[in-house]
Amino acid sequence: MAKKRLFISDVHLGAGRYSDESKSSETHKYEWDWLSEDETKNFESFIRFLRTVYSENIREIILLGDIFDNWVFPHDLVPPTMDELITAQKNKKVVTELNELSEKLPVFYVPGNHDMHATRETMKKHFPKIIFCPEQFTAGRLIAEHGHRYAMFNAPPQFSNNFLGLPIGYFISRVEASKKAMTNREDRAYRTYVDDFIEVVGRPTLPQCVLEAVIEEAELDEDITYKIKKKAGDFKLISAPDVKEKYKDIYDDWPINLVSKHRAVFAELDMLGPIADKLCKNGRYKVCILGHSHKSEIDKDTWFVDDRIYANAGYWCGSKCTFVETEKNSKGYRVCLVKWLGNDEIKRGEIYSV
């Protein structure tokens, strides 16, 4: 019997209110991490299940980005480095479980946007056995990556002006974290503004308008200042007006050889199926697995590409804890979405074959 590959994404392990500055803040009264304490323990139990109960069925495990998260942090506090995030007390048991899992099974780590600072050196330091993949995991006719490289707000912005290599989505996430910390509200995400504005303001000015709307929704001043941690250990101050000015040309500068501008904008609306089409269109790949959208889904074939499977691993914040399971045999690939139910139980969805 062929063993399975498991693809897990978007856990969003945050550092919590880790610093003296954040603990003493009078305005940041609420927890802002996407993954709560209970959800962190749930993920810890899942990793233990993979190691102790299910390991005989597994060939490899691929962590497909945003496993850790140092984006979701109030704009006016100094965020943690990746080292501080991994070693935070809140994540200690999960890190131990991941290391024990990697001692037993091959585990790969593909960074996403919220853990884009997870370098090969950092991961080797904290996870000696985990295999680092900078952009993609490929095996035969299967390709997997986080998916943010094709989304205009969240792609690494090497092609355009930027601050410290950060995309504009980073600054939007910091504002949303501020709103949660101050009000305990998370009633609207930036994607809804993208949807609202896409036909009204025009795509070239869309990123700036979305940032303005998110700041206004959080009831913050339009000229707020971000604290950004630098590699040297100190921090840099960057104002919201400077962010809007710096990133004003990202639509015009988007590299269409990667994907079209149209696809890059709609990727911000969780529409990643067209990205899978693009990656599979030349026939080299038959299976494409992504994360990023927080939308667990699976489909086979489209108008544009026959004989391909696209699956999205979903996310772990809340009750919809899902992952993708693939199996390769002499007839091809079998792919399905699987839900973690807790208490060492999983539930498989429909199996797709190609």
User: pLDDT tens-digit profile of 132-143?
Assistant: 999 999 999 999
Which residue, of 219, 251, 283, is where some domain finishes? 251
pLDDT of res. 230:
77
Q: Residue 101 CB: number of other CB atoms within 10 A?
A: 22
Reported confidence tier of residue 195, pLDDT bands at 50, 70, 90: confident
The parent domain of residue 16 ranges over 4-147+272-353
pLDDT tens for 203-256 read 668 888 889 999 999 999 999 999 998 766 688 999 999 999 999 999 999 999
Residue 140 lies in a domain: yes
Q: What percent of the chain has pLDDT over 70?
A: 96
Residue 267 lies in a domain: no
Closest CA to 92 of 21, 130, 41, 31: 41
Between 264 and 304, the higher pLDDT residue = 264
Q: What percent of the chain has pLDDT over 90?
A: 79
Do 24 and 172 have their domain in common? no
Q: What sections of 105-165 are H helices per DSSP?
A: 120-126
Residue 220 lies in a domain: yes
3 state SS of 276? helix
Task: Please compute the mean of the pLDDT values over residues 3-9 and round it to a whole number.
Answer: 97
Between helices 190-197 and 168-183, what is the axis angle to 10°? 120
Do 132 and 77 have their domain in common? yes
Which residue, of 190, 220, 251, is where some domain finishes? 251
Q: Is the pLDDT of residue 347 over 70?
A: yes
Residue 282 lies in a domain: yes
Half-sphere exposure for 123 (CA within 13 Å, toward CB): 23
pLDDT tens for 82-112 read 999 999 999 999 999 999 999 999 999 999 9
Q: Is the pLDDT of residue 114 over 70?
A: yes
Report the domain count for the chain.
2
pLDDT of res. 175:
96
- Kindly state the tokens that stand for 233: 């250990």
In the chain, beta strands by DSSP E: 4-8, 58-63, 107-109, 131-132, 137-139, 142-144, 225-229, 235-239, 287-290, 297-300, 309-312, 322-329, 332-342, 345-348, 352-353
Do 48 and 134 have their domain in common? yes
Do 15 and 135 have their domain in common? yes
Do 16 and 141 have their domain in common? yes
Burial tier of 46 (Cβ tally within 10 Å: 0-12, 13-18, 19+): buried
Between 60 and 229, the higher pLDDT residue = 60
**What is the CATH classification number for the domain harbouring 39?**
3.60.21.10
Residue 25 lies in a domain: yes
Instruction: Say how far apart CA 212 and CA 206 lie, in whole Å.
Output: 10
pLDDT tens for 261-303 read 999 999 998 999 999 999 998 888 999 999 999 999 999 988 8
- Are the C-beta atoms of residues 74 and 32 closer than 8 Å to each other? yes
Reported confidence tier of residue 25, pLDDT bands at 50, 70, 90: confident
Do 46 and 109 have their domain in common? yes
Residue 204 lies in a domain: yes
- Are the C-beta atoms of residues 157 and 247 closer than 8 Å to each other? yes
Do 12 and 142 have their domain in common? yes
Q: 149-183 burial, b for 16+ CB within 10 Å, e for fewer?
A: bbbbbbbebeebebbeebbbbbbbbbbbbbbbbbe
pLDDT tens for 165-181 read 999 999 999 999 999 99
Residue 262 lies in a domain: no
pLDDT of res. 301:
87
Residue 256 lies in a domain: no
Do 101 and 237 have their domain in common? no
